[in-house]
Chains A and B, each alone.
Chain A
Amino acid sequence: MTTKEIFLALRTSMVTRTVLAGLAVGFVGMCLLGRRAAHTVAHENFIRFTQYTSPESKYYPTVSEMMSIVRAKIKPGQILVVVGGNSILRGVAQTPDQVWSRKLQEKLGDGYCVVNFAFNSSLITDAASVAAEALSKEFPRQIYIANAAPTQAPTPGGSSVYRWVYWDAYYKGLLLDAPAREKKVADTIYTRIPYPDGHVVYPFRGNIQELKLAAWLDSWCYFNDFWNDVAYEDFNTVWGNLMPGLADFMQPRKNWRDPDPDGTQIPMTVRFPATTLEGELANIRGNSQYAFNKDAAGKWEIYLPLWDDVFQKGIQDIFPPALKSRTLILLSGTATYYTRWLTEDERYRDKIAYEMAVQRWKAGGFDAMEYGRDFAIEDFYDRTHLTATGALKLSGMVAPKVREMAQQLGYLPK
């Protein structure tokens, strides 16, 4: 038989109406299975998202998935502590046993449930904050922790890499009612910068239309939850960079070891290479150089347009009002290996920039604290990431602050 004859024979062996009925049953059945998966993908013994359970390798955890992880971990009566922020709080250069959020859990004890949803390069407004908000009615006794650099106001609705979680929760109806935030998100996405030659750039728009369409479809069909469940538990179907070879990439993602190394075992010359010194110093100076100007007497004077118009307005309405007071912003410090290369004057400017950032976050209705200024060189893996010893110090600073917040928020008996 020719190929054409085979196709014709197959075609005539089928009944069109039954095929269509099968298609409908198959598709609707998958949607229902997806809805079930949304409540069951719990990542047993979850510690943090790894490179293999994050967009770095084309795995996009859904908000329902994160909610399921919390439900699987939390015990009755515990206060929920959700950790967000970037690679520093994810615990890069800390093994799963060393990760700072695990130490925080140990220090806080059984009254608290610490869940680390930080991702590399993510912002205060990214995935973890959305998951915490979506759980705020179910677990109202909650504290959200995330980190930022001083003068850094996060993009409302999340960064371009992680904003799918916001839209995922938005279309699934899991966000709190916050019209001011919604307006801010829309205003940001459609920010337009006109150039003199007539062309216009939309720096935050990106693929937003496709992303919103996908999130809307997913709110009906739950394909992300179902196929994430398959990829994590059964077999992975998506290849990406960082994957362990062409043959092994189909292994379920739960089998892939958390690859973060013990940073203390990496030589200092690798962690702090001389070749990057100037670049890193430029990064550090960038934290404060536009935040203050010298006055006539040579003293640092606050540059109000940045703090009032950019920063203070930037952090306004990023969260629903009710969730601000339960948010702790950590201003991530810089390795003393680098700050010792700054002039005395620059070090002072850096110090007052952190102090001003703490003050401004608090004025915005959040709680805030800085860390790292008094850490030792070996507590840092590089300019910003912490080693196991730094992780211990950070958890030691944050635990009493969390207890204090829990008391102030009325989570604990008086």
Chain B
Amino acid sequence: MSSPEQFVRSPLARHAFSLLVGLTVGVFLHYLLYRLGLPIQPFIYVAF
């Protein structure tokens, strides 16, 4: 099987792209913790 084509070829650009992806995933994980911490059951059913 031939190696897949790369979108980003320059090593510096590859590191920059990788860093950007990593940062995005880090932010997303932080947001995911926030969303997972929110109760699912609506207020009205818990309160009354």
Residues of A within 8 A of B (CB): 5, 8-16, 18-31, 34, 54-56, 58, 60, 120-121, 159-161, 207, 214, 217-218, 221, 223-224, 226-227, 237-238, 240-241
Contacts and interface: CB of A to CB of B under 8 A. Distances in A.
29 contacts: A5-B5, A8-B5, A13-B6, A13-B17, A14-B21, A15-B15, A15-B18, A19-B18, A19-B25, A22-B18, A22-B19, A22-B21, A23-B23, A25-B22, A26-B25, A26-B27, A26-B29, A27-B29, A29-B26, A55-B39, A56-B44, A58-B39, A58-B43, A120-B47, A214-B36, A214-B37, A221-B33, A223-B33, A224-B37
Interface residues of B, number: 35
B22 A18 contact: yes
A25 B3 CA distance: 30
Contacts, number: 127
A55 to B, nearest CB: 5
Contacts of A120: 47
B5 A22 contact: no
A12 B43 CA distance: 46
B30 A30 contact: yes
A240 B41 CA distance: 11
Contacts of A214: 33, 36-37
A20 B39 contact: no
A343 to B, nearest CB: 29
Interface string B1-45: 001111110000011011111111111011101111111001110
B14 A13 contact: yes
A26 B34 CA distance: 15
B18 A14 contact: yes
B25 A23 contact: yes
Contact of A9 (B7, B27, B47): B7
Contacts of B46: 55, 160-161
Minimum-distance CB pairs A-B, first 4: A22-B22, A26-B26, A18-B18, A8-B4
Contacts of B23: 22-23, 25-26, 29
Contact of B30 (A12, A56, A226): A226
B26 A22 contact: yes
Contacts of B25: 19, 22-23, 26
A217 B37 CA distance: 9
Contacts of A121: 47-48
B34 A223 contact: yes
Contacts of A34: 30
Nearest to A213: B37
